[in-house]
Amino acid sequence: MLAAMACAQSATKLAANLASEPTAERFSLDRAVAFMDDAAQMWNAKYGCVTCHTNGLFLVARASISTRARPYRETRKLAASYLRDYVSGGKQPKGQRGAIEGIVTAASVLAISDMSTTRRLSASTKDALDFIWEQQDPEGSWSGWLKCRWPPYEIDDHFGVTLAAMALGRTPTSYRRLARVREAERRLRRYLAANPPEHLHHKGMMLWLATSLDDVVTREERRSWISELRERQQQDGGWRLADLGDERWRRPQDSVQELPSDAYATGFSVFALRQGGVPTNDPAVQRGLRWLRSQQRRSGRWFVRSPRRDGKHYISHAATQFAVMAFDACGER
C-alpha cells in the first residue's frame, strides 16, 4: 500500500493510447523509457496490482537499462508487496486481483529482474517462486491462467510456462538444486515437451527461454523458427501481431491481408531474432529497427491497436517495452 501511495504521488498523467497520436519528429529512446516509466507509475497508482502488459514486463525492460530510476524501484516494491499479500499475508483473490496469472507473472519478472541486477534472489522473490511452484499443475502449467482472448498474454498457458521457466533458469544454482525446485523444473520441461510451440509468438518466447534454460530448443528448431520469423517480415520492415498467433489474435471482422505492421510484433520479433543469435547487422534486424524508429509517437510510446476491441489499447505499453528491449539487444541505449 505504501508503495502504491508513493507511486500515486509521483505518477504523471498519461495520455490515452490513440491511433491518431502523431509520430515523433525525431526518434528518441530516452523518450520511450520515460513513457515506460510513466505508464508503470500510472498502473501502480490506479490499480495497485501487477499485469503483464504494463508494469510486469516493465521490470524486465527497465532492468536492462537502469535500476536507479525511481519508477523502477517503486514498481519493484509494489510487485513485492502485491505478492506478499497473497503469498504469506493470507489475502484471498478478488476477481482477477490475486489470480494465478498475476502471481506467476509478478514472481517471474521479479526473479528475472533480481538476477539481471544483483545476481541474487531477494527473500521475497524466493518466497514468491516457492509459492508458484506449489500452485503448479502436475502437467507443468497453471491451468487457472486467465484465457479471455486477450493475446498475447491471456490466451493460453504457454506464456506463463515460458516466463516462469525463464525465471527459474536464471536463478542461482543453489536454488535450482532444491528438491522442490528440481521438481518444478521437471514439470516445466514436461509441459514444453508435451506442448510444442503452435505459432510464432510461442517460438519467439522459446528462443528467449533458450538463453536461460539449456536443452529446450534444438539447433534445427532454432534455424527453422528464425527462418519463419524472417518470412513473416513485411515489405515495410515490420511484423504483424496477427501473423505471430492464430485466428484468435485478430478481430473477427479483420481482413488479415489489410492489417498493417505493428509495433508489438516488430519489437518482439527483432528481440526474438537477437535472442536466437541473429547478429545486429542482419538486414532483417536492421529493417525492423528502421521501422520502429519511423513509427514512434510524440509521447515516446509505440501505438498498437488492441487485437480484441477498442478501448485502452494497453498492448501499446508492451509494444513500447519490447521496442526498448529490441534496441537494447542491438546495443542501442
pLDDT tens by residue, 248-283: 999 999 999 999 999 999 999 999 999 999 999 999
Residue bearing cell 478501448: 311
Cα–Cα dist 202/204, whole Å: 5
- What is the total count of domains within the chain? 1
- Contact between 114 and 125 under an 8 Å Cβ cutoff? The reply is yes
What is the number of residues in the chain?
333
Domain ranges, residue 176: 2-15+22-329
Band of the pLDDT at 83, cuts 50, 70, 90? very high
Band of the pLDDT at 12, cuts 50, 70, 90? low
pLDDT at res. 163:
98
What's the mean pLDDT when you consider all of the chain?
Answer: 94
CA 139 to chain CA centroid, nearest Å:
23
pLDDT at res. 184:
98
pLDDT at res. 311:
86
Cα–Cα dist 123/129, whole Å: 10
pLDDT beyond 90 at 20: yes
Q: Give the pLDDT mean for 82-105.
A: 90
> What are the residue ranges of helices labelled H in 120-244?
123-135, 158-170, 173-176, 179-194, 200-209, 219-231, 241-244
Cα–Cα dist 8/157, whole Å: 33
Band of the pLDDT at 3, cuts 50, 70, 90? very low
pTM of the model: 0.95
DSSP state of 132: H
Band of the pLDDT at 8, cuts 50, 70, 90? very low
Question: What is the CATH number for 242?
Answer: 1.50.10.20
Residue 319: how many CB atoms within 10 A of its CB? 27
Residues contacting residue 281 through CB under 8 Å, at least 6 positions apart? none
Band of the pLDDT at 223, cuts 50, 70, 90? very high
Nearest CA to 315 out of 174, 151, 198 is that of 151
pLDDT beyond 60 at 307: yes
pLDDT beyond 90 at 323: yes
pLDDT at res. 90:
87
Q: Give the pLDDT mean for 226-247.
A: 97
Helix (H) or strand (E) holding 264: helix 263-275
Q: Give the pLDDT mean for 214-238.
A: 98
* Residue 305 in grid coordinates: 491497436
pLDDT at res. 5:
33
pLDDT beyond 70 at 148: yes
Band of the pLDDT at 95, cuts 50, 70, 90? confident
Cα–Cα dist 268/63, whole Å: 17
- What percentage of the chain reaches a pLDDT higher than 70? 96
Q: What are residue 154's phi and psi, to 5 degrees?
A: -120, 60
Q: Give the pLDDT mean for 280-302.
A: 98
* Residue 116 in grid coordinates: 539481471
Cα–Cα dist 192/202, whole Å: 11
What would the pLDDT profile of 35-65 be if each residue is shown by its tens digit? 999 999 999 999 999 999 999 999 999 998 8
- Residues forming a β-bridge with 150: 154
One-letter amino acid for residue 242 of the chain: A
Q: Give the pLDDT mean for 276-304.
A: 98
pLDDT beyond 80 at 2: no
pLDDT at res. 11:
44
